[in-house]
Structure 1
Amino acid sequence: MISKRLLSKIECYPDVVEAALQASPTRQPQRQRVDGRNQTSEIGQRLAIRYNNVDCITLYEEHLTCLLHDNWLNDEVVDFFMVLLLELLNDYKNYDFCFLPASFLESIKRDRDHYVLRRLNVFEKKFVIIPVCHNYHWTLVILCYMNNMAAALNGRVEAGCSPFMLYVDSLHWSINKRILQELRHSFSRELGIRLNMPDIKLGDDELPYKIVRVPKQKNLSDCGVYLLHYTECFIRYAVQESFSVPEFLDHSLKVFELSSGVAKRENLKNTILVLARHFKRPA
């Protein structure tokens, strides 16, 4: 259900949305790297949706064609659906989660990551969800129990609640440890500033990673779709009071059921269309 609070933050042009999502399914957006990001061209494009909050996310007509059959999802579309999930959590007064934008790794390279981490208060969140696009392939990193990081460094954390990372890859490729190192370095620096301890370093012992077993995607273009599917599935389980990470990892193949992911692209399109109908004027 789309809340009034969410609608108040969105500017939408339903005719543009419908035109984009009813285009030929073989239409492929023009893809390019802009400032390291996985973007489609915006030149001459019609505005479709804008989410106006602290972070402004703008979707043009061409962006939405990413949702058509066998197209890769770009940064803007992934960020937008992450925001919708966050808004839903906020509707239920659940503030244990935060999402970092798809451009976060690029922010690290540009030495601007601390602005993002500080604004989102990542060390007050139980789960920090990070969509990662590297070489046109989407993977998912979830940092767990970040709100326990300071206590864990002092040995004052309950068993099973120490911080760690979950790594999710729908193509089952070898893990990109360089990305994990960059994330550790970024969070180390921010934690050092927060605690006034600049020498803090989060390594394998302080922030280890665990690989999540998930069904393998059957093509090379659905990685972004599965990233959103995995994120939604994880949240659905993590909000439960009985949630246990070890139990979740033991049953992850069932949790991330492949049949649900197959229909995800159509569900994403329908979500956008439902949103657009709220803004459509009567004929």
Structure 2
Amino acid sequence: GLIQFPPPPSKGGIAVTTEDLECLDNGQFLNDVIIDFYLKYLLLERVLQDVADRSHVFSSFFYKQLTRRDNASEDSTSVSAQRRRHQRVKTWTRHVDIFKKDFLFVPVNQEAHWYLVVICFPGLEQCEEGSSPASLRGTGGEKPDEAQAEEEASGYKKLNGISEVTPESTSTDNQDKRTVTGMCVLSPLILSLRIETICKRPCILLMDSLKFSLHERVFKLLREYLQSEWELRRGSVREFSSEQMQGSHCKVPLQDNSSDCGLYLLQYVESFLQDPVVHFELPLCLERWFPRQQVRRKRDEIRDLVLHLYRHQRGTVGMDTSDGVS
């Protein structure tokens, strides 16, 4: 192997080999090792500690294991399919209470195509609104200046760093829209008074760089997983219905070739962790989240990162390996 990340003595390090690096060549599909390595690296090295603490990234094998076919040793007569699925992965969370996390990231690979599922606020039973501390603000953490506050009050809404004109939101008919739809729609008046209002909505977001895919089964299986996990960890019954935990396909930047789906998955996670969503008005419109060029550079960036870690780890063998990687 070239590197292990995180390096010993940390547990759960992912070993990356020279063969793994070959999938970073143009036109190649990213493999699970590169996906898991980069997601772990993001969480440990690239994001604010506060955001990292509120997030949990599942291994790329998690969904595969959850949904694989029953094998001969599994009792398929007396145990429900939902329970059998949960049994296969119940040890994966023995060191983490996922219901205390705000965001759970689930990389999924189906028929050689990668896409991302983000489970938001699994511990909440309903939408919660409140003011955000600086660390939770979803537009870079800076206080909006007066010009921006005025702009938002006059019918712009800034959604996750993307300004959209919403002329209809200034009409009085829509002032109390949120009670009608159940959505956290903030009227311009509220926006002007409380620019930093956040809305926590329990939901399952799906981000797929091929636009034609529908994934209703994924939502269902993950709701069932959450229900079984809740029963096991909390010892009580809680229903995770489609009304309480809505599934939503996000509008995200799309790939323009057949091989970059894994890179888009990584970029979705990176963009989300660097600037977490705070207004959960579904579906999320994130088409302009990042430029395509950013994804194109990612193959070289990840390769360079692995080689940098390789030189660093080789240079610190026998020395104190606890030093952080720059």
For the aligned pair, the TM-score class normalised by the smaller chain equals: 0.7 to 0.9
Amino acid at match of 2:92: V
Partner of 2:49: 92
Aligned AA for 1:174? S
Relative contact order (alpha carbons < 8 A, sep ≥ 6): 1 or 2 greater?
A: 2
Distance 1:194 1:281 in 2: 43
Count of matched residue positions in the alignment of Structure 1 and Structure 2:
226
Give the aligned partner of residue 177 of structure 1. 216
SS at 2:95 equivalent: helix
In structure 1, distance between residues paired with 2:107 and 2:314: 31
Q: Name which of 197, 222, 228 aligns with 2:260.
A: 222
Identity %: 27
Q: How do 1:60-75 residues align onto structure 2 when only pairs under 5 Å count?
A: 60-75=17-32
Counterpart code for 1:253? E
Deviation of the 1:259 alpha carbon: 2.2
Q: After superposition, where does 1:82-231 map in structure 2 within 5 Å?
A: 82-88=39-45, 92-94=49-51, 95-109=53-67, 111-149=87-125, 152=126, 157-158=128-129, 160-198=199-237, 200-231=238-269
Amino acid at match of 2:56: C
**Residues of 2 paired with 1:281 and 1:157: CA distance?**
49
SS in 2 for 1:278: helix
AA of the residue aligned to 1:133: N
1:214·1:256 contact (CA, 8 Å) conserved in 2?
Answer: no
Runs of 5+ in structure 2 lacking a partner? 68-84, 130-183, 185-198, 317-326
Give CA-to-partner distance per residue, 1:2-57, whole Å, 9 cap, x none.
xxxxxxxxxxxxxxxxxxxxxxxxxxxxxxxxxxxxxxxxxxxxx12223544242
Of 255-264 and 66-75, the range deviating more from structure 2: 255-264
CA distance 1:247–1:173, change in 2 (3 Å):
closer
**1:74-131 deviations in Å (ceiling 9; x for gaps):** 1111011110011026763441111011011133246322212342211110111111
The one-character-per-residue Cα deviations of 1:217-252 (angstroms, maximum 9, x if unpaired) are 11111100111011101111118xxx43339923x1
Q: Quick one: distance in 1 between partners of 2:300 and 2:90? A: 36
Q: For the aligned residues, what is the CA RMSD?
A: 2.4
Structure 1 residues not aligned, in runs of 5+: 1-46
**CA 254–248 in structure 1, closer or farther in 2 if over 3 Å, else same:** farther
* Separation in structure 1 between the aligned mates of residue 11 and residue 280 of structure 2, nearest angstrom: 31
Q: Which has the larger radius of gyration?
A: 2
Counterpart residue identity of residue 272, structure 1: V
